[in-house]
Structure 1
Amino acid sequence: MLNLPPKVTDRAFERLAEIGAQAQGKALRVAVEGGGCSGFQYEIDLDAVKDDDLVLRGNGESVVIDSVSLPFLTSAVIDFSEELIGARFVIDNPNASSSCGCGVSFSM
Structure 2
Amino acid sequence: MSEPIISLTPGAAKRVAWIAERQRKPAILRLAVDGGGCAGFTYKFELAEQAEGDDTVAETDGVRLVVDPTSLELVQGSAVDFVEDLGGAAFKVTNPNAQSGCGCGSSFSV
Normalising to structure 1: TM-score of the pair?
Answer: 0.88
C-alpha contact (below 8 Å) 2:20/2:47 kept by paired residues:
no
Letter in 2 for 1:61: V
Q: Could you say what the CA RMSD is over the residues aligned between the two structures, in angstroms?
A: 1.9
Distance of 1:89 and 1:52 partners within structure 2: 23
Residue in 2 that maps onto 1:30 = 31
> Is 2:18 aligned against 1:6?
no
Matches within 5 A, 1:47-66: 47-48=48-49, 49-66=51-68
Distance of 1:7 and 1:26 partners within structure 2: 15
C-alpha contact (below 8 Å) 1:17/1:59 kept by paired residues:
no
Residue in 2 that maps onto 1:40 = 41
Give per-residue Cα distances to partners, 1:25-71, cap 9 Å, x unaligned.
35111111111111111111112221211111121211110011111
Residue in 2 that maps onto 1:76 = 78
C-alpha contact (below 8 Å) 2:8/2:58 kept by paired residues:
yes
Equivalenced residues, count: 107
Structure 1 residue ranges (4+ consecutive) displaced by more than 6 angstroms after TM superposition: none
Give 1:102 deviation, angstroms. Answer: 0.5
Letter in 1 for 2:48: D
Once the two structures are aligned, what percentage of the paired residues are identical? 42
Distance of 1:43 and 1:53 partners within structure 2: 15
Distance of 2:35 and 2:19 partners within structure 1: 28
Give structure 1 stretches of 5+ with no counterpart.
none
Distance of 2:80 and 2:26 partners within structure 1: 20
